[in-house]
């Protein structure tokens, strides 16, 4: 990547970054996609409109790119198919040219494209450069040349092919995306925009992650800010502005949504916790998705944690009940419906020296499992059982007992 550093460019970069930091909330709830291959929008920036057949030249690689059909356009970027390439070293496969005036977004795309170049789960970047169109007073266009993923973005693909994917295929493709996201999270980076518009599908139905234009890196103790995001696909805490920082767990939220999206038909492009119960997949897959799209504190904390959960073998049998001989001094959580009123169960528990808790946490000793409630989320797992999985992954052993055993320890029939 070759970038010409001038006083003008340095000043412009500082101004753009200052604008992004100080942008009011009402303007920051949108993304500025440079790679979305959607139908061209009518209100695109005139400065980003290139005539078909014109040639864009890279001073670094010495390649000449002949501009072809426009694939997508908006106010901040445009994507063109490349009709021909001459000069320089040969590039494999079809390519697209992305142009923008957004210097900060272009820097991010170019930087992350370079460091993720060898990662199979991302759209491959060939080169980045600045190009000045011919004519007096023309400003530079910031260009990216990348592979053309012919299946298009996931939004359009699922609209054309609404049939659900098999669980094994969907799981494999989410793992493919996670491998590149693990590298980002390990380097202190968050993507912030893993939406169906920015995930692309190859002709072999393999997923590729693209559009790193609003990725952000944590510096020291300063977390990446939730300044720009796609409102429809963002976590509730960020959409409602209760959370100001974007954490790796929020990227995990996006991956959970994508996992659910692949397992359902293409009619609903924004899966919800309620719709997950109706997915045609195993209870294990439902529990993973519910963990991803639930409250932030209950999610997988990073891509690495989610990857470990998806990569390990699925448990064939539920956890075995532990032998519990007394409730005295034990912290107890009850889930599901009991044959007695919940308040009576709590009263009797306190009478034998037990301590009632409302939620499963690192201090919980025993979980009493009653009959399945209609509010349970992942088929046979409610939120407390999902939290139990989370605690057990962290090495916290919690005993599971039935209502019959619970009543016996209470001394009741």
Q: How far apart are CA 81 and CA 335, in angstroms?
A: 56
Question: Is pLDDT of 42 > 50?
Answer: no
Give the list of residues 6+ apart from residue 316 with CB closer than 8 angstroms, or none: none
Q: How far apart are CA 86 and CA 84, in angstroms?
A: 7
Domain ranges of the chain: 7-147, 154-311, 331-410
Mean pLDDT calculated for residue range 358-363:
87
| pLDDT tens by residue, 259-314 | 999 998 755 667 777 788 788 888 888 889 988 998 888 899 999 999 998 987 65
What percent of the chain is modeled with pLDDT above 70? 82
Domain 154-311 top-level CATH class: mainly alpha
Mean pLDDT calculated for residue range 2-28:
43
Write down the mean pLDDT value for the chain.
Answer: 81
**Whole-prediction pTM value?**
0.71
For residue 137, the model assigns a pLDDT of 76
Q: Three-state SS for 401? A: strand
What does the radius of gyration of the chain's CA atoms come to, in whole angstroms? 26
Give the list of residues 6+ apart from residue 404 with CB closer than 8 angstroms, or none: none
8 Å CB contact between 303 and 181: yes
For residue 65, the model assigns a pLDDT of 96
Helix (H) or strand (E) holding 42: none
Give the list of residues 6+ apart from residue 110 with CB closer than 8 angstroms, or none: 1, 3, 125, 128, 144
Which range is least confidently modeled, 96-105, 175-184, 372-381, 398-407?
Answer: 372-381
Question: Is pLDDT of 28 > 80?
Answer: no
Between 64 and 162, residue with greater pLDDT: 64
Closest CA to 297 of 377, 212, 237: 237
Q: How far apart are CA 135 and CA 113, in angstroms?
A: 30
331-410: CATH number? 3.40.50.10190
State which fold the 7-147 domain adopts: Phosphorylase Kinase; domain 1 (3.30.200)
Q: If you write DSSP's letter for every residue of 302-353 in order, what string do you get?
A: SHHHHHHHHHSPPPSSPPPPPP----TT-EEEEESB-SS-HHHHHHHHHHTT
Closest CA to 171 of 263, 251, 101: 263
For residue 304, the model assigns a pLDDT of 94
Report residue 131's pLDDT band, with 50, 70 and 90 as the boundaries. Answer: very high
Q: How far apart are CA 232 and CA 196, in angstroms?
A: 11
């Amino acid at each position: 990547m070759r970038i010409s550093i001038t006083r003008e460019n340095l000043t412009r970069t500082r101004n753009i970054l200052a604008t992004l930091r100080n942008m009011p909330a009402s303007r920051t709830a949108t993304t500025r996609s440079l790679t979305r291959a959607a139908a061209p929008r009518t209100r695109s920036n005139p400065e980003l409109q290139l005539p078909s057949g014109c040639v864009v030249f890279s001073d670094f690689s010495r390649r000449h790119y002949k501009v072809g059909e426009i694939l997508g356009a908006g106010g901040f970027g445009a994507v063109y198919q490349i009709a021909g390439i001459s000069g320089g070293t040969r590039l494999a496969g079809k390519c697209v040219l992305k142009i923008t005036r957004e210097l900060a977004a272009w820097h991010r795309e170019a930087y992350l494209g370079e460091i993720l170049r060898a990662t199979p789960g991302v759209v491959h970047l060939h080169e980045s450069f600045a190009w000045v169109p011919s004519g007096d007073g023309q400003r530079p266009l910031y260009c990216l040349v990348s592979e053309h993923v012919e299946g298009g973005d996931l939004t359009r693909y699922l609209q054309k092919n609404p049939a659900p994917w098999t669980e094994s295929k969907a799981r494999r493709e989410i793992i493919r995306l996670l491998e590149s996201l693990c590298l980002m999270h390990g380097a202190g980076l968050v993507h912030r925009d893993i939406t169906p518009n920015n995930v692309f599908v190859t002709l072999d139905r393999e997923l590729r992650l693209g559009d790193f234009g609003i990725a952000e890196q944590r510096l020291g103790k300063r977390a990446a800010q939730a300044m720009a995001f796609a409102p429809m696909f963002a976590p509730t805490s960020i959409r409602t502005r209760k959370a100001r920082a974007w954490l790796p767990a929020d990227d995990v939220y996006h991956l959970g949504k994508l996992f659910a999206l692949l397992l359902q038909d293409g009619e609903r492009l924004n899966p919800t916790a309620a719709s997950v119960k109706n997915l045609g997949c195993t209870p294990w897959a439902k529990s993973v998705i519910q963990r991803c799209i639930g409250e932030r504190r209950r999610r997988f904390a990073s891509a690495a944690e989610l990857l470990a959960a998806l990569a390990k073998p699925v448990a064939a049998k539920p956890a075995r009940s532990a032998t519990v001989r007394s409730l005295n001094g034990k912290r107890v959580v009850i889930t599901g419906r009991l044959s007695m009123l919940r308040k009576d169960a709590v009263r009797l528990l306190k009478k034998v020296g037990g301590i009632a808790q409302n939620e499963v946490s690192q201090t919980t000793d025993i979980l009493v499992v009653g009959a399945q409630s209609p509010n349970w989320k992942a088929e046979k797992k409610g939120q407390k059982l999902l939290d139990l999985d989370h605690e057990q992954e962290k090495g916290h052993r919690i005993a599971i007992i039935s209502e019959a055993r619970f009543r016996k320890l209470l001394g009741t029939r």
